[in-house]
Amino acid sequence: MAESGRDPLLDLWIIVLFVDLPPGFGVALGNPHGAPRSSTASGRARSLSVGKANVNSMTAPVGRPSDADRTPPKPAARLLAVGGGKGGVGKTFVTANLATALAKLGKRVVVVDVDLDGANLHTCLGVPSPQRSLADFVSEREEDLGKLLVDTPLPNLKLIGATHGNLADAQPSHLRRVRLLRGLRQLEADLVLLDLGAGAHASVLDYFLVSDDGILVLQPEPTSVENAYTFLRAAFYRRMRLAMVGHGVRQLVTLAMDQRNERGIRTPLELLREIEATDTMEARRFIETMRVFRPRVIVNGVRTAEDVKLGFSVTSVCKKYFGIEAEYLGYVNYDDEARRSVSQRRPIVDLHNDADVSIYLQRIARKLLGLPLATTHSASAAADGTLADGGRRRVRSDGQTAADSASQVLRKGDPG
């Protein structure tokens, strides 16, 4: 907490929302049909920018160009944050390969390792340990993020690593996070991908929430499903707490974050009913915030047709218990070639771009850009719920499929 008792992240959001806010901020852009999603925040920002331009044009001295006559600013880079909630789900593998696939589609891409506690993104991209990294920015040894960019084997893919960090002070302060986010948007890039650390720490949630697209990677395992739910729950309540203006309502949201709270609030919809009884305007703000919070889901390490269904089960959980419309971006099948590509320090989409796992990753990349999906026999398997191996249904040794696990989470409403 700041000395005034104000949540520092609220200041971060105020700064990012109203200073140099790019269109579509805070909303998952690039839906499968290519149409940008609407957002109250972006709409409010447009209103502010229009009003500011009108005032400046009326008060500009004679003979000097008004804001309307100036060259429009360059588009801000689109931020995509890839998180996993749990370590070992393959988020770094997915991030490295999506970045490579997007670069191969002609986009200028920067990929950033913000996992200062366990940086290894550079290894997946075949880049030696960078001598200068994000750790230099965090420690204030470097202010220009552009000087931290490192070339990768792909011409239009750059890396900001996170090596040589100070383990005693690995996480940046909220002010450094503000500067980092603004600096990343100003890079000469179309897309900036953030490889987040594991867990649901405040800094991880902040990056996930402030990015244009928050992508959650999970595996078809009960522990991964439960950790994904915990991550989404933490992100949801953190976003809601920041969106609420009234002190009493913010306290109510904070109370609901305790799974055993004295009011018995178990789900966001129950929280909404409590807020409606307290403040109708805040209730409307709560509903609007729910509407624009649209995390996106990728299931990694799929082996069976049942595993494919896990993504739909997760989106069902989001709809029923959070009241939010999550999007299932797609899945990545399990493949020994993927493991070997990591050992060879090359993204699988670059090493074997015709492998099934590469095709699935490339389809997800195209979906992120709103491009038509290439159709091949293997890649179209997702449409009918089968896999490249014929969709044989394998059950894990515990007799439980991933979809079964997700269904249990759905019935309980809370795995924790």
Distances (CA, A) of 10 to 175, 210, 244, 274, 379: 11, 12, 10, 22, 43
Q: Is the pLDDT of residue 279 over 80?
A: yes
Higher-scoring residue by pLDDT: 12, 105: 105
Residue 164: the pLDDT is 65
Higher-scoring residue by pLDDT: 81, 72: 81
Confidence of residue 402 (pLDDT cuts 50, 70, 90): very low
Higher-scoring residue by pLDDT: 353, 216: 216
Condensed to tens digits (0 to 9), the pLDDT of residues 226-252 reads 999 999 999 998 988 888 888 888 899
Confidence of residue 412 (pLDDT cuts 50, 70, 90): very low
Confidence of residue 157 (pLDDT cuts 50, 70, 90): very high
Kindly report which listed range (50-59, 154-163, 187-196, 343-352) carries the lowest average pLDDT score.
50-59
Q: What percent of the chain has pLDDT over 90?
A: 34
Mean of all residue pLDDT scores within the chain: 76
Residue 243: the pLDDT is 85
Higher-scoring residue by pLDDT: 343, 356: 356
Distances (CA, A) of 348 to 125, 168, 183, 194, 356: 10, 35, 30, 19, 10
* Domains contained in the chain, CATH given: 77-412 (3.40.50.300)
State the Cα–Cα distance between residues 337 and 73, nearest whole angstrom.
44
Residue 213: the pLDDT is 95
Q: Which of 339, 379, 373, 336 is nearest to 356 (CA)?
A: 379
Pairing mode, if any, of strands 157-160 and 150-151? antiparallel
Collapsed DSSP state (helix, strand, coil) of residue 52: helix
Residue 103: the pLDDT is 96
Q: Is the pLDDT of residue 116 over 50?
A: yes
Confidence of residue 170 (pLDDT cuts 50, 70, 90): low
Confidence of residue 45 (pLDDT cuts 50, 70, 90): very low
Mean of the pLDDT values across residues 249-260?
A: 88
Residue 86: the pLDDT is 75
Condensed to tens digits (0 to 9), the pLDDT of residues 322-332 reads 888 999 999 99
Mean of the pLDDT values across residues 292-309?
A: 93
State the Cα–Cα distance between residues 300 and 332, nearest whole angstrom.
5
Q: Is the pLDDT of residue 355 over 60?
A: yes
Residue 168: the pLDDT is 56
Residue 220: the pLDDT is 93
Kindly report which listed range (63-77, 194-208, 304-318) carries the lowest average pLDDT score.
63-77
Q: Which of 195, 192, 288 is nearest to 240 (CA)?
A: 288
Confidence (pTM): 0.74
Chain centre to alpha carbon of residue 280: 30
Condensed to tens digits (0 to 9), the pLDDT of residues 125-152 reads 988 888 888 888 888 888 899 999 999 9
Q: Which of 24, 81, 399 is nearest to 209 (CA)?
A: 81
DSSP string, 180-217: HHHHHHTSS-SEEEEEPPSS--HHHHHHHHHSSEEEEE
Confidence of residue 20 (pLDDT cuts 50, 70, 90): very low
